[in-house]
């Protein structure tokens, strides 16, 4: 896969979460509503020792509302889990968050037993923006570079409600290839870590079958109905978009790098319509495939290792 990033401060964040979680009542996992499955940390349950979890589907303003409803239903059916949708236009998100946390941990509250909450999420998911809204200040710095929230910080939301922030974190092994592409498309991965053309092609491959109308409208592809677009090669669609936008290299050739940047920018800005890149059902299939492939890889590696080892008899010199 083309997505390669350094986990950076992941190990220290992991350590900080493991330490902090001992005194935590509820974990808030901020997810990107456009890719809830892919933006969920696969190590979180283990790191947080199964603490009750509030899944906040953030940036819902950019996501497909029907699919957000599917994801909320999916999460709300899980034990010790609640899910709410959110976006930055919400001026008082604290009410919803505080209410959901009290539902998850009903015995906490009051000065003697304040609610202690840990918030985590991938880079660029909107954590700093949310915390700024919650605190009404500029305590957390926001920015468009992945992973700008650096230090764990405690925020007092009320006298009996504490929130600990953690740095945005990605994990080093993404076993679902589509997750890598979706994370890159969303802006969670620094731009040097992936090939924009490859990610844009994967993105178009999904969008042409699921959100053709949005692409046709934004790029003024009036000649392409949904069926024709779905039947097109991803490369041909990227080429058509580049041509429409005047991303040319000369001699009529399309600047595919530029075209890819345009596609990603339009997607991130929500200009292709409200889009969600995965449904719970799709993600479950991708995950099962990814886990199977990962197990096969591990088995092959173990077999190779075994092959390379000297036979026990030979090693101990007890050959007859």
Is 143 among the residues that bind ligand G4P (CB under 6 A)?
Answer: yes
**C-beta of 53 vs 149, nearer to ligand G4P:** 149
Is 155 among the residues that bind ligand G4P (CB under 6 A)?
Answer: no
Is 126 among the residues that bind ligand G4P (CB under 6 A)?
Answer: yes
Residues contacting 40, CB < 8 A, separation 6+ = 29, 31, 55
Applying CB under 6 A, which of residues 34, 59, 108, 178 lies at the interface with ligand G4P?
Answer: 59
Is 152 among the residues that bind ligand G4P (CB under 6 A)?
Answer: no
Q: Which residues on neighbouring strands pair with residue 121, listed in sequence order?
A: 30
**C-beta of 48 vs 124, nearer to ligand G4P:** 124
> 3-state DSSP call for residue 236?
helix
- Smallest distance, ligand G4P to C-beta of residue 108, A: 26
Applying CB under 6 A, which of residues 87, 198, 234, 261 lies at the interface with ligand G4P?
Answer: 87
Assigned token pair, 304: 């190779």
Query: Looking up tokens 């940036």, which residue turns up?
Result: 59
Applying CB under 6 A, which of residues 79, 95, 111, 144 lies at the interface with ligand G4P?
Answer: 144
- Smallest distance, ligand G4P to C-beta of residue 72, A: 16
Reference 196, options 122, 271, 265; nearest CA is 265
Strands (E), the chain: 26-32, 53-58, 81-85, 115-121, 153-158, 161-165, 248-250, 253-254
Distance from C-alpha of 153 to C-alpha of 164, rounded to nearest angstrom = 6
Applying CB under 6 A, which of residues 128, 182, 186, 279 lies at the interface with ligand G4P?
Answer: 128
- Smallest distance, ligand G4P to C-beta of residue 289, A: 29
Size of interface with ligand G4P, in residues (CB under 6 A) = 20
Distance from C-alpha of 86 to C-alpha of 305, rounded to nearest angstrom = 48
Distance from C-alpha of 105 to C-alpha of 100, rounded to nearest angstrom = 9
Applying CB under 6 A, which of residues 21, 148, 248, 287 lies at the interface with ligand G4P?
Answer: 148
Applying CB under 6 A, which of residues 125, 212, 215, 263 lies at the interface with ligand G4P?
Answer: 125
Applying CB under 6 A, which of residues 10, 45, 70, 88 lies at the interface with ligand G4P?
Answer: 88
Query: Looking up tokens 């096969």, which residue turns up?
Result: 296
The contacts found for 196-199 with CB under 8 angstroms, 24 or more apart, are: 196/257, 196/260, 196/261, 196/264, 197/238, 197/256, 197/257, 197/260, 198/2, 199/2, 199/3, 199/260, 199/264
Site string for ligand G4P, 281-300 (x = CB under 6 A): --------------------
Applying CB under 6 A, which of residues 37, 168, 205, 214 lies at the interface with ligand G4P?
Answer: 168
Query: What is the pairing mode between strands 81-85 and 115-121?
Result: unpaired
Applying CB under 6 A, which of residues 81, 96, 129, 255 lies at the interface with ligand G4P?
Answer: 129
Is 149 among the residues that bind ligand G4P (CB under 6 A)?
Answer: yes
Applying CB under 6 A, which of residues 54, 56, 62, 203 lies at the interface with ligand G4P?
Answer: 62
How many Cα atoms sit within 13 Å of 197 on the Cβ side? 10
- Smallest distance, ligand G4P to C-beta of residue 58, A: 5
Residue 55 — φ and ψ, nearest 5°?
Answer: -90, 115
Is 58 among the residues that bind ligand G4P (CB under 6 A)?
Answer: yes
Point out the residue whose Cβ comes nearest to ligand G4P: 126
Site of interaction with ligand G4P (CB under 6 A): 58-59, 61-62, 87-88, 121, 123-129, 142-144, 148-149, 168
């Amino acid at each position: 896969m083309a997505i390669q990033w350094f986990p950076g401060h992941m190990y220290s964040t992991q350590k900080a979460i493991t330490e902090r979680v001992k005194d935590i009542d509820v974990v808030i996992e901020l997810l990107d509503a456009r890719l809830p499955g892919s933006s969920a940390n696969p190590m979180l349950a283990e790191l947080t020792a199964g603490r009750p979890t509030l899944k906040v589907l953030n940036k819902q303003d950019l996501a497909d509302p029907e699919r957000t409803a599917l994801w909320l239903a999916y999460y709300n059916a899980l034990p010790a889990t609640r899910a709410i949708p959110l976006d930055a236009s919400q001026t008082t998100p604290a009410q919803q968050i505080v209410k959901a946390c009290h539902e998850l941990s009903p015995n906490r509250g009051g000065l003697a037993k304040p609610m202690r909450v840990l918030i985590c999420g991938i880079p660029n998911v909107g954590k700093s923006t949310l915390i700024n809204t919650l605190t009404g200040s500029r305590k957390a710095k926001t920015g468009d570079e992945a992973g700008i929230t650096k230090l764990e910080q405690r925020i007092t939301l009320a006298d009996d409600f504490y929130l600990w922030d953690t740095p945005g974190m990605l994990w080093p092994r993404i076993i679902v290839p589509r997750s890598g592409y979706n994370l890159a498309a969303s802006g969670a991965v620094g731009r040097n870590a992936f090939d924009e053309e490859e990610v844009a092609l994967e993105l178009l491959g999904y969008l042409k079958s699921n959100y053709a109308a949005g692409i046709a409208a934004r790029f003024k592809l009036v000649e392409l109905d949904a069926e024709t677009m779905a039947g097109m090669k991803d490369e041909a669609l990227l080429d058509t978009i580049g041509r429409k936008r005047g991303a040319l290299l000369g001699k009529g050739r399309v600047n595919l790098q530029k075209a890819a940047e345009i596609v990603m920018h339009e997607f991130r800005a929500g200009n292709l319509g409200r889009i969600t890149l995965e449904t719970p059902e799709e993600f479950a299939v991708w995950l099962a495939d990814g886990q199977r492939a990962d197990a096969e890889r591990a088995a092959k590696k173990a077999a190779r290792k075994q092959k390379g080892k000297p036979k026990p008899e030979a090693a101990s010199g007890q050959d007859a």
